[in-house]
């Protein structure tokens, strides 16, 4: 037992006072003789004995009364079992990612967590709140009530390691109590390994009752017809036993098509045919799962021909003129000696077709061209120098030409998941007439192969740069060396490499991916472009090039939707933004990941445990009660004991 005011124990010496007073009152009785009556004498003896007992009882009551009063003023208590952590600072990490839209036993997970915080957090308790994007340091529930009530779901995924790094950078002289409220979607062992066990975090893991969910993953142009686009919508189903899904297509908020589709498999593709013109709208579905992934915004720009130039001998460029037709392309050819370098910046794609030597000046120009978003296709020459080729491709990533092999090889493997081919084939082709090459370079790359030989070596690869793409062949494809020009693969391969971009002709960026966007517009030095939506407007990071502007959006916009790119108030083009679909699979949360950590059921149980473990057991009230009891006992003795 401990005392808050131990100095008051000196008042225990006051117990001597009632003892002294009592001793002075214990005088001997003086004998008074009356008539010799036996009964009166007996009564006198009995009265003397009763009086002594009463006085001793009163003394005991008064001593105990004074003792308990003095002890009560010292405020005795029993120290709590976790008293050493009583001054810890509290940090609440709240996951407000889109997976917290799921419904639990008491409603939406995020709303329920916010309500529990508002109801159960002690009003006088200081804490810091960290969400996916915002931090609120050293606040209390009253100050942050409005913020919590208006808390929105974040487009940024829940990155626990990043949030804990911010918490660690927030210096404090006190130890930390960390409570983490998350459904666990997106958390893996790698992230949890970075959680310091010495901080002893406590997890509250709300669980979704309904884990079925359907999301729209992507929209792309499947086929380009004379007057129409055939667009494909890729759906993903997570769970089982789905009801038919209503799918609606809108252009500028006007419904132009609607259908209902069954979801028999986890992946489903739906096709719509729309007029071949500019499009600025979205596709939406209705399901019983999450809502954030039920809408996909996309834009299709006004039809504009793609500029392509092939640099090489005229005879070797003939096959390209049959692919890059005048309906969709402005195709030109040039020999290296007659090349006008000033025209290269105006191109969307450049083909280096079996040049024996690539001069340094061209290398420098093409490096800048790719950095500005242009697409480059390299077909090596069998007569070319390996040193010269490697000096050139080293500017575009981990690519390397090795020895030239003179043995014939067949091209047998297609990477159907590569962006060049992901919308070309309706189904995977196993048996087809394999093209072949007579001579080929051994090519190594850190990027996956697009086409491979029968020995698994690379025939065609492509870089994965965020700007322009560089496609590299391992062999010449002229008729003297290969029959690839007669293969059915020739048209889609070169067509998609020239038009190659992540959205296949559709402008639909993912918020937070930092994928750069090029807008073809000429700006003055001090001019800027702004991006404007219905509820949001911002100025992205931008780099002014010769006839383009490169824009990077970072974490903007905050909300998905359709936007306009403006120069002052002048419309330039449309663009669309969507949330990433990383939160769509509600079944991906693995409860075993948290086996090494403490967990609790709710905010209420956390604060109850904190209260019981860290609050000293104050017992002074019991001493006050005992003092009152002995006061009552004293009064009873005075009144009733004779």
Q: What is the pLDDT of residues 64-99, one digit of tens each?
A: 888 888 878 887 766 656 566 667 889 999 999 999
Task: Identify the band that residue 503 occupies on the pLDDT scale cut at 50, 70 and 90.
Answer: very low
- Residue 575 in domain: no
pLDDT of residue 328: 83
Q: Is the pLDDT of residue 502 over 50?
A: no
Where does residue 147 rank: exposed (0-12), middle (13-18), buried (19+ CB within 10 A)? middle
Q: Is the pLDDT of residue 407 over 60?
A: yes
Structural domain boundaries, residue 635: 2-79+618-640
pLDDT in tens, 585-613: 988 777 777 877 888 888 888 888 776 66
pLDDT of residue 559: 93
Task: Identify the band that residue 464 occupies on the pLDDT scale cut at 50, 70 and 90.
Answer: confident
- Tell me the average pLDDT across 496-522: 80
Task: Identify the band that residue 480 occupies on the pLDDT scale cut at 50, 70 and 90.
Answer: very high
43 lies in the same domain as 179: no
pLDDT in tens, 336-370: 999 999 889 889 899 999 999 999 999 999 998 99
* Rounded distance between C-alpha atoms, residue 247 and residue 215, angstroms: 11
- Tell me the average pLDDT across 183-199: 72
- Residue 171 in domain: yes
600 lies in the same domain as 635: no
pLDDT in tens, 148-185: 999 999 988 888 888 888 888 888 878 888 999 999 88
* Rounded distance between C-alpha atoms, residue 431 and residue 219, angstroms: 29
193 lies in the same domain as 69: no
Distances (CA, A) of 459 to 39, 310, 416, 501, 627: 134, 20, 15, 21, 96
Distances (CA, A) of 208 to 187, 192, 349: 16, 21, 48
58 lies in the same domain as 114: no
Distances (CA, A) of 576 to 43, 235, 256, 506: 111, 19, 18, 9
91 lies in the same domain as 182: yes
CATH number at 176 reads: 3.40.50.410
* Rounded distance between C-alpha atoms, residue 603 and residue 112, angstroms: 11
123 or 634, greater pLDDT = 123
- Residue 404 in domain: yes
62 lies in the same domain as 113: no
405 lies in the same domain as 359: yes
pLDDT of residue 80: 57
548 CB contacts (<8 Å, ≥6 apart)? 372, 373, 518, 519, 520, 521
pLDDT of residue 635: 84
Q: Is the pLDDT of residue 640 over 90?
A: no
632 lies in the same domain as 602: no
- Residue 103 in domain: yes
pLDDT in tens, 212-255: 999 999 998 888 777 888 999 999 999 888 889 999 999 998 99
- Residue 248 in domain: no
- Residue 431 in domain: yes
Q: Which of 32-41, 132-141, 465-474 has the lowest mean pLDDT?
A: 32-41
- Tell me the average pLDDT across 560-570: 94
Last residue of one domain, picked from the residues 446, 478, 498: 498
- Tell me the average pLDDT across 396-412: 91
What mean pLDDT value characterizes the chain? 85
385 lies in the same domain as 466: yes
Task: Identify the band that residue 477 occupies on the pLDDT scale cut at 50, 70 and 90.
Answer: very high
pLDDT of residue 575: 95
Residue with tokens 């000293």: 616
- Residue 340 in domain: yes
604 lies in the same domain as 622: no
| Residue 613 in tokens | 């473990």
7 or 314, greater pLDDT = 314
In the chain, what percentage of residues exceed pLDDT 90?
46
Number of domains in the chain: 3
- Tell me the average pLDDT across 517-544: 90
* Rounded distance between C-alpha atoms, residue 526 and residue 544, angstroms: 10
SS3 of 160-218: the string is: HHHHHHHHHHCCCCCCEEEEEECCCCCCCHHHHHCCCHHHCCEEECCCCCCCCEEEEEE
Q: Is the pLDDT of residue 63 over 50?
A: yes
| Residue 374 in tokens | 């242009």
Last residue of one domain, picked from the residues 498, 513, 531: 498
Give me the residues paired with residue 551 across strands: 517, 542
pLDDT of residue 615: 58
69 lies in the same domain as 158: no
Q: Which of 546-550's residues contact partners 24+ apart within 8 Å by CB, and which partners?
A: 546/345, 546/522, 547/345, 547/346, 547/520, 547/521, 547/522, 548/372, 548/373, 548/518, 548/519, 548/520, 548/521, 549/518, 549/519, 549/521, 549/523, 550/372, 550/373, 550/467, 550/516, 550/517, 550/518
Q: Is the pLDDT of residue 335 over 90?
A: yes
- Tell me the average pLDDT across 121-127: 90
Q: Is the pLDDT of residue 396 over 50?
A: yes
398 CB contacts (<8 Å, ≥6 apart)? 444, 445, 446, 447
341 lies in the same domain as 396: yes
pLDDT of residue 401: 94
- Residue 104 in domain: yes
Task: Identify the band that residue 308 occupies on the pLDDT scale cut at 50, 70 and 90.
Answer: very high
Last residue of one domain, picked from the residues 458, 476, 498: 498
């Amino acid at each position: 037992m401990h005392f808050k005011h131990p100095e008051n124990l000196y008042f225990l010496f006051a117990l001597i006072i009632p003892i002294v007073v009592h001793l002075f009152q214990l005088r001997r009785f003086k004998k008074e003789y009356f008539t010799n009556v036996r009964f009166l004498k007996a009564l006198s003896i009995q009265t003397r004995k009763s009086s002594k007992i009463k006085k001793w009882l009163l003394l005991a009551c008064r001593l105990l009364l004074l003792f308990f009063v003095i002890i009560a003023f010292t405020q005795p208590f029993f120290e709590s079992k976790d008293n050493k952590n009583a001054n810890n600072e509290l940090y609440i990490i709240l996951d407000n990612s889109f997976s917290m839209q799921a419904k639990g036993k008491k409603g939406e997970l995020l709303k329920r967590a916010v309500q529990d915080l508002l109801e159960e957090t002690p009003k006088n308790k200081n804490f810091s709140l960290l969400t996916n994007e915002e931090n609120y340091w050293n606040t209390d529930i009253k100050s942050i009530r409005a913020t919590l009530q208006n808390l929105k779901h974040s487009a940024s995924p829940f990155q626990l390691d990043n949030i804990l790094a911010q918490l660690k950078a927030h210096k404090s002289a006190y130890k930390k109590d960390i409570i983490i409220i998350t459904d666990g979607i997106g958390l893996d062992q790698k992230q949890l390994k970075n959680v310091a066990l010495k901080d002893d975090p406590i997890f509250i893991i709300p669980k979704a009752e309904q884990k079925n969910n359907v999301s729209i993953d992507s929209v792309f142009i499947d086929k380009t017809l004379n007057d129409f686009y055939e667009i494909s919508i890729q759906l993903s189903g997570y769970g089982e036993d789905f009801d038919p899904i209503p799918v609606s297509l809108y252009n500028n908020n006007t419904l132009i098509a609607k259908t209902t589709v069954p979801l028999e498999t986890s992946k489903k593709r739906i096709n719509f045919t729309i007029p071949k013109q500019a499009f600025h709208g979205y596709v939406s579905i209705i399901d019983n799962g999450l809502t954030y992934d039920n809408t996909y915004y996309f834009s299709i720009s006004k039809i504009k021909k793609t500029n392509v130039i092939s640099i090489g001998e005229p005879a070797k460029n003939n096959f390209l003129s049959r692919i890059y037709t005048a309906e969709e392309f402005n195709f030109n050819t040039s020999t290296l000696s007659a090349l006008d370098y000033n025209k290269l910046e105006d191109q969307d794609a450049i083909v280096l077709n079996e040049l024996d030597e690539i001069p340094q000046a061209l290398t420098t120009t093409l490096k800048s061209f790719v950095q500005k978003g242009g697409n480059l296709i390299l077909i090596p020459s069998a007569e070319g120098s390996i040193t010269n080729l490697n000096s050139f491709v080293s500017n575009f990533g981990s690519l390397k030409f090795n020895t030239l092999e003179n043995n014939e090889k067949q091209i047998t493997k297609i990477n159907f998941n590569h962006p060049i081919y992901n919308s070309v084939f309706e189904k995977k082709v196993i048996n087809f007439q394999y093209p072949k090459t007579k001579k080929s370079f051994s090519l190594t790359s850190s990027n996956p192969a697009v086409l491979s030989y029968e020995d698994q070596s690379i025939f065609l690869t492509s870089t994965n740069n965020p700007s322009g793409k560089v496609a590299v062949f391992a062999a010449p494809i002229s008729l003297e060396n290969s029959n690839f020009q007669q293969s059915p693969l020739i048209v889609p391969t070169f067509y998609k490499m020239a038009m190659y971009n992540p959205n296949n002709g559709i402008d639909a960026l993912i918020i937070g991916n930092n994928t750069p966007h090029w807008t073809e517009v000429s700006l003055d030095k001090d001019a800027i472009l702004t991006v404007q939506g219905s509820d949001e407007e911002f100025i992205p990071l931008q780099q002014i090039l010769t006839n383009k502007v490169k824009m990077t959006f970072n974490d903007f916009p905050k909300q998905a939707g359709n936007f306009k790119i403006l120069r002052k108030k002048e419309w330039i083009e449309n663009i669309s933004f969507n949330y990433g679909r990383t939160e769509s699979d509600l079944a991906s949360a693995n409860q075993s990941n948290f086996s090494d950590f403490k967990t609790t059921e709710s905010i209420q149980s956390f604060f109850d445990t904190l209260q019981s473990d860290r609050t000293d057991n104050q017992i002074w009230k019991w001493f006050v009660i005992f003092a009152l009891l002995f006061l009552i006992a004293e009064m009873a003795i005075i009144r009733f004991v004779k």
